[in-house]
Structure 1
Amino acid sequence: MNHDHPAVVLDLSANGIGIIRSLARKGIDVYAYDTEGSYRKGKSRLAECDICPNPITEPNKLLHFLVTIAKGLPKKPVLYVGSDDYVSFQSRYREQLRPYFLFLIPEPEMIETLLDKKETYKLAVEHQIPTPKTFFLEDISQLQEVISEIQFPCILKPSHGYQFRTKLNKKAIRVEDAAQLMKDYEYYQSIGEVVIQEEIPGDNRCFYKLATFYGEDMKLLASFTLQKNHQFPAEFGTGAHIESRKVPELYTLGLPFFQKLQLKGIAMAEFKRDPRDGVFKFIEINPRFWLTHSLTGAAAIDFAYLYYLYLTKQKFTATNDFKEGIKWIYLVRYFLTYLEKRKEGKMNFVEFLRGLKGEKVFALLAKDDVMPFVRSSISHLWKAWRKRRKE
């Protein structure tokens, strides 16, 4: 294979680190950037890393920054993005970026829809995809009507998660009763638009994901399914312990939906299996690489590398075949999740150790690139200690 084209990665979380490692270990030159805080924690020895302007508050500066970098490289680089704020930037400035970078993403209108949970749920309902019961309020006076229809506990979710989290780092808020909903809705709505949603019962193992890679012509080039075992925080969080798992029902449900939406490039949809009826209920779609994508490499269907080969016009065999039972572990988050669940009697140390057995890939721990793991672990443990002291 030819690896002459460099790669530029916008994201230095575990997501971006996974992309860097996949490409750099194959001899591809990688340049990786993120805002200052993420750069300090995530910079990798396998890439040339630096601080970049903020995609939300300084988009024009970021555009100039990227164009300058691309002009200095010997060949047009493949552009990778690992978070919603960078996806939004890439979509809005796609025409200015195209002369300098190789990338494949859905149309601008679809990107904007998928970054808005309210619009995404409307889209799912329109295409008859099962979803949790969800309410969108035009006015707070409609709250009483929602209270009469929804079952408690329910949850509040930001419509634009990446924008909401710049002000308050919460993925979702559990609401126990009507009185709390009256109080919390008005408060969180003042921070950013939120939706009210039924809470589907079931533990972390009820969450599944379908990931796809479609070409420009919407030919399916790769697909992958996985099951979540643990997340951090345990209640509403992101993956801490994941496993590759073949789930035929997700292909039946998700692939026709993705094709109708014309989700070319990389995309991932999350579903939660409702234990009450066994139905997979739609949660969200990310039109980008997702946190646990490095599991695909360990399972022999490396999305990051296939994306590189496709955009540099190299041949490979389209596939949905992968190894089952491979684990992806974000070690510090898995440990902190264990501590949370141990207090509630939901997990013991033997179960924690059992989760480390078998074939696996770590989100950050690596012999050839140890510092992202060290810095992330220190940061997570420090935050957990401070939180415990406040309690």
Structure 2
Amino acid sequence: MNNKAVILGNNYYLGLSTIRCLGKYGIHTVAVDYSEENRYAAESKYVSEKLIVPHYQNETKEFIDALIDYAKSQDVKPVLIPCHDSYVEAIDAYLDEIREYYLIPQTEQGLYTTVMDKGKLHQLAEEKGMKVPETLTIDTENFHEKVESIIKFPCLVKPVDSPNFVKKFRRKLFKVHSMEELEEKIELAKNADLEVIIQRIIPGFDDHMYTFDAYLNQDAKVTHWTTCRKLRQYPINFGASVYTVQKHVPELYELGANFLEAIKFKGFAEIEFKKDAETGDYYLIEINARITNLNSLLYKVGLNFPYITYMELTGQPLEPKAVNHNTNTAFWYFYEDMLAVKDYIKTGQLSAMTVLKSLFRPKAYAIWDWNDPKPAFSFAANLFGKVFHKVTKR
């Protein structure tokens, strides 16, 4: 295994789980970041090399040049694995250029960006016969009337460009309950130079959120897959997974595999669906075109997607595999789940007993690993430092 694995983004547990998934097989891992701040994943014992490069957004061309310079110094092409949407966007913008120096699953420049763009994704999904929530753009003719008659309140104001929206507002979307509030949030987005769409809320609690996690080979065929069901997310109702269980849902394979193969996607993808509590229909919500929050869970149930990616790209493809049974194993991000639980109980959406009962199952932890504890201690130290700074500033 002479090809190094270059992992972009190590200040979050997605990068950490990717490093572990590859390092456990003796693969040389390179932890790449733009800063040393909060870089707890780079403390893993499975990190072989650390690299600091220019910022992926503030100095995108310099960032790409630094990656290329690094690859040029290697004997063989490294495998490139971005672990954040913003890294994916930067790579996609220069995909044809960077593919000369790195092994990357996707071959069609622009496809990553298309599936990450909420508006373009929903248009593509509708073309392929997938159900998506009713959506309006702010320049839709008779906008206000259609909001009242089609979308209805409460509804969602969602970004087209999620990474920059989250960076600006520290949330994935706005939930609004009136036309006045809708106009206010649209104006906020305009002032931040961010495009948004207005979307109907599909009925159903957070446990109606599901994922289809899959790897598609260079022939754009699904070779590895499973499905999962969210139980809790943070922020509650419209956030990221903090407690999710692997659960086999055959319908999601039919929907997800057919769609991804139809658009000729290659590499790992996670489609988020929501099951309509009234009709039972599954609606496509979004696609994550990079390693996701659930990576440690997927590894624990037998699907090591970073390793699957690495092996195919280096000419050693693994045998196809599907986890098409229930393992009852859960992904758990303890820190944010505790914040979520507090809010679920406070709003009366869950009881303490319901939460407690849910915890009695095998778990895949977001950060903690008995065999690699240093990142967890580094994360805890960073968190304590932030809390201490906040308290002492009062």
TM-score (normalizing by structure 2) = 0.90
SS in 1 for 2:169: coil
Give yes or no for the alignment of 1:7 onto 2:8.
Answer: no
CA deviation map 1:166-211 (0-9, x unaligned): 3222201110122211222222233210100011222221100112
8 Å CA contact retained: 1:263, 1:287: no
The residue that corresponds to 2:135 in the other structure is 134
Q: CA offset at residue 78 of structure 1?
A: 1.1
CA deviation map 1:313-346 (0-9, x unaligned): 1142111135621111111111211122222233
The residue that corresponds to 1:239 in the other structure is 241
1:138 partner amino acid: D
What is the CA RMSD across the aligned residues, in angstroms?
2.6
Give yes or no for the alignment of 1:341 onto 2:339.
Answer: no
CA deviation map 1:137-169 (0-9, x unaligned): 226973344234322110100111112223222
Give me the whole-angstrom Cα distance separating, in 2, the residues matched to 1:231 and 1:377.
Answer: 21
Q: CA offset at residue 304 of structure 1?
A: 1.2
SS in 1 for 2:348: coil
Give yes or no for the alignment of 1:222 onto 2:224.
Answer: yes
CA distance change for structure 1 residues 385 and 125 in 2, over 3 Å: closer, same or farther?
A: farther
* Map 1:191-210 → 2, pairs under 5 A: 191=192, 192-210=194-212
Q: Provide the identity percentage.
A: 29
CA distance change for structure 1 residues 380 and 176 in 2, over 3 Å: closer, same or farther?
A: farther
The residue that corresponds to 2:370 in the other structure is 367
CA distance change for structure 1 residues 155 and 106 in 2, over 3 Å: closer, same or farther?
A: farther
The residue that corresponds to 1:255 in the other structure is 257
Which of 278, 286, 289 aligns to 1:276? It is: 278
2:55 partner amino acid: N
The residue that corresponds to 1:213 in the other structure is 215
CA deviation map 1:280-336 (0-9, x unaligned): 111011222222122111001211111111111114211113562111111111121
The residue that corresponds to 1:65 in the other structure is 66
Give me the whole-angstrom Cα distance separating, in 2, the residues matched to 1:156 and 1:388.
Answer: 33
Q: CA offset at residue 72 of structure 1?
A: 3.2
Q: CA offset at residue 348 of structure 1?
A: 4.4
Larger displacement relative to structure 2 (264-273 or 165-174): 165-174
CA distance change for structure 1 residues 52 and 181 in 2, over 3 Å: closer, same or farther?
A: same
Give me the whole-angstrom Cα distance separating, in 2, the residues matched to 1:139 and 1:389.
Answer: 49
Larger displacement relative to structure 2 (17-26 or 74-83): 74-83
CA distance change for structure 1 residues 308 and 188 in 2, over 3 Å: closer, same or farther?
A: same
* Map 1:1-391 → 2, pairs under 5 A: 3-12=1-10, 13-36=12-35, 39-45=38-44, 46-47=46-47, 48-138=49-139, 142-191=143-192, 192-321=194-323, 324-377=327-380
Give me the whole-angstrom Cα distance separating, in 2, the residues matched to 1:353 and 1:97.
Answer: 48
1:143 partner amino acid: H
Give me the whole-angstrom Cα distance separating, in 1, the residues matched to 2:51 and 2:94.
Answer: 21
CA distance change for structure 1 residues 268 and 388 in 2, over 3 Å: closer, same or farther?
A: farther
1:356 partner amino acid: L
SS in 2 for 1:180: helix
1:4 partner amino acid: N
Give me the whole-angstrom Cα distance separating, in 2, the residues matched to 1:149 and 1:357.
Answer: 42
Give me the whole-angstrom Cα distance separating, in 2, the residues matched to 1:385 and 1:174.
Answer: 32
TM-score (normalizing by structure 1) = 0.91
SS in 1 for 2:26: coil
Q: CA offset at residue 247 of structure 1?
A: 0.7
Give me the whole-angstrom Cα distance separating, in 1, the residues matched to 2:336 and 2:270.
Answer: 22
Give me the whole-angstrom Cα distance separating, in 1, the residues matched to 2:391 and 2:251.
Answer: 41
